[in-house]
Amino acid sequence: MVRAVWAVLIGCVIVGSLLPAKSPVIAGMGRLHISFKVLHFVGYTALGWMAMMAVRRGRAAVMAALAMVLLGVAREFAQKLSPGRSCEVRDMLLNAAGVATGIGVGALCRRIATADSGS
């Protein structure tokens, strides 16, 4: 189930980030009065955290989460192909910071789950 949620989240991030700037979805998000930079960070925090929860082995989980950084970089470059969108290094850095936060939260959750199952 966690892997399915992670896959859906990846799909939503990819599709949402490649929509044209004038699409109804992007326009609606603009009316939320939430900075797109905050959305970058929160979205990639969720991607990193879900990777840590979806993959059982610790090292593989971290590698899967770090792959989300590569997804963010690739997606930023792909945005140049979408009308009205641009590629920003700052967004790449926010994505990476979000993934790092997600790894930290995921590692903490894994540690708590391990401690609970051991007692």
Quote the pLDDT of residue 118: 67
Residue 24 to residue 38: CA distance in whole angstroms: 20
- Here the contacts of 79-87 (C-beta below 8 Å, separation 24 or greater) are 79/17, 79/18, 81/18, 82/18, 82/19, 82/20, 82/21, 83/20, 83/21, 83/22, 84/20, 84/21, 84/22, 85/17, 85/18, 85/20, 85/21
Quote the pLDDT of residue 119: 62
Contact residues for 90 (Cβ-Cβ < 8 A; gap 6+)? 37
- pTM for this entry: 0.89
pLDDT in tens, 9-51: 999 999 988 999 899 988 888 888 889 899 999 999 999 999 9
Residue 60 to residue 62: CA distance in whole angstroms: 5
pLDDT in tens, 73-105: 999 999 999 999 999 999 999 999 999 999 999
Q: Which two tokens stand for residue 38?
A: 């905050």
Q: How confident is the model at residue 117 (pLDDT cuts 50, 70, 90)?
A: confident
